[in-house]
Amino acid sequence: MNNRNRFIVPLILGGAAVLFFIAVVTAAVVLRTSDKIVGLDYECNYSHNSSLVSSIASALGNRAAEFNKGLCLLEKKEYGEAYDAFVPIAEKGLADAQCLLGDMYAEGLGVSQDLEKAEHWYRMAANQFNGCGLISLGFMYYDGNVVPKDRSEAAKLWKRALDISPVPRGWETWYANIEGRLGLMYLEGDGVRQNYDDALRYLTRAAGADDAEAQSALGSMYAKGLGVTRDYVQAEHWYRKAADQGDVDAMVRLGTMYYSGVEEYGIRKDFNKAFHYYSSAANIGDAPAQFYLACLYLRGEGVEQNLEKAFEWTEKSAKQGFAEAQNELGRAYEHMKQDPDKAIEWYQKAAAQGFEPARQNLERIFENTVTSAFSLDNLDLEHLFTDEDTVCLSKKRSADLDTGVRDPFADLDLGDN
């Protein structure tokens, strides 16, 4: 090696060493000062043969890098490795990792399900004012999982979460959900003092974020004039939005609204629409909707009259415990099926729920010890489901549908809440 190279080679090596040292120090500073969820942007094609930068990040203890790595593993459903990635940084105090560990214990992902450990990690995150932790711990208090059921504490935790601004990316749906739940709590006085103004505020925000339950509840506030001027057009608007998302209560309430009509508000009776919404809810399994659908089949409103389908839907509703349907099923067995034992059985089920017409039917049967003889072939509609005690035509209902409309099968009374 000539003299020139003797000096150049060490110079190059020395310079490289200095540059490497500077790069490492710079990386350390950058990585440590970026110890937030936005840290290193791992792509979720992460493998054990990760890049040099990723290795340096882990070696330097950058929690954001480890968290993002855990997220990718979680997304790939490699739960055991995700758990291993989250534990060290959760123990060092990273709130988002703590909350995700809570989720893994709550759902049994990569670990045995353990709600007590889930509660521990949720609380650790919540104590750092972490939205995920506050919301998740709030649900535990709301439902009474591990901790005592305490709706008031749930409300406090959720309101703290809502104070976080801006809403963490990816949590928009959860925030809308808890706003909707808070709105319902204020509407019903559940865990908080009843306050229609607060209910309207929370429900309006949640409904605007497409929370279906909030949309349905907001529709009811407008239909009944709770905290607002009664407005059936607004009620219809919010019920429709909720029903379009599959909310069963909204479907039933829309069915009721279209069956009765609200002419003063430009909402006309429309049996076809009533049938559409009742049948949609009935097919999902809603017991009241199944019975109302049976009544439409019985009377041929919005659909061709079909007595067998009327019986079928009445039976489905009755088997779910809907008292009105149980009473009508008793009448069907008494008059259509000529089976007094079955009639008595269903009357008793309805009467046990306090449904007065069923009790009267039992008294009549026991007094007379005879039943009427009807069949599908010689059915007299004037006597089937249409006596004074019937539900389909009577205003004597055991419960209000909570729509501002008294009864789906009675005239509308705007003055009756």
Query: Which residue type, as a one-letter code, is found at position 247?
Result: D
Positive or negative CA dihedral for 69, 70, 75, 81? positive
Query: Which residue type, as a one-letter code, is found at position 230?
Result: R
Domains of the chain: 6-92 (no CATH), 258-417 (1.25.40.10)
Nearest to 135 by CA among 105, 173, 108: 173
Q: How far apart are CA 90 and CA 63, in angstroms?
A: 9
* Segment 359-393, tens digit of pLDDT: 999 999 888 764 444 333 433 444 444 443 344 63
Q: How far apart are CA 293 and CA 280, in angstroms?
A: 10
Query: Which residue type, as a one-letter code, is found at position 354?
Result: G
Q: So what's the pLDDT on residue 241? A: 98
User: Has residue 310 got a pLDDT over 50?
Assistant: yes
Q: Worst-scoring range by mean pLDDT, 49-63, 216-230, 250-264, 283-297? A: 49-63
Model confidence band, residue 1 (pLDDT cutoffs 50, 70, 90): low
- How far CA 140 is from CA of 44, 116, 127, in Å, comes to 31, 10, 15
Model confidence band, residue 331 (pLDDT cutoffs 50, 70, 90): very high
Nearest to 161 by CA among 95, 225, 67: 95
Model confidence band, residue 279 (pLDDT cutoffs 50, 70, 90): very high
Q: How far apart are CA 357 and CA 324, in angstroms?
A: 9
Q: So what's the pLDDT on residue 369? A: 61
Q: What distance lies between CA 241 and its chain's CA centroid?
A: 15
User: Has residue 296 got a pLDDT over 90?
Assistant: yes
Q: How far apart are CA 297 and CA 304, in angstroms?
A: 7
Q: So what's the pLDDT on residue 44? A: 61
Residues 6+ apart with CB under 8 A from 306: 297
* Segment 30-59, tens digit of pLDDT: 444 444 443 344 456 444 444 444 444 454
Q: So what's the pLDDT on residue 172? A: 87
Region of residue 65 (left: phi > 0; alpha: psi -120 to 50; beta: else): alpha
User: Has residue 300 got a pLDDT over 90?
Assistant: yes
Residues 6+ apart with CB under 8 A from 92: 63
Centre a 10 Å sphere on the Cβ of residue 363 and count the other Cβ atoms it contains. 12
* Segment 155-204, tens digit of pLDDT: 999 999 999 867 777 788 889 999 999 999 999 999 999 999 999 999 99
Provide mean pLDDT across the span 336-350: 93
Tokens of 229: 């001027």
* Segment 97-141, tens digit of pLDDT: 999 999 999 999 999 999 999 999 999 999 999 999 999 999 999
Q: So what's the pLDDT on residue 24? A: 43
* Segment 78-88, tens digit of pLDDT: 999 999 999 99
On average, the pLDDT of the chain sits at 81
Query: Which residue type, as a one-letter code, is found at position 181?
Result: R
Q: So what's the pLDDT on residue 345? A: 96
Q: So what's the pLDDT on residue 218? A: 98
What residues are paired with 73 via a beta bridge? none
User: Has residue 254 got a pLDDT over 60?
Assistant: yes
Look at residue 97 and give its three-state secondary structure. helix
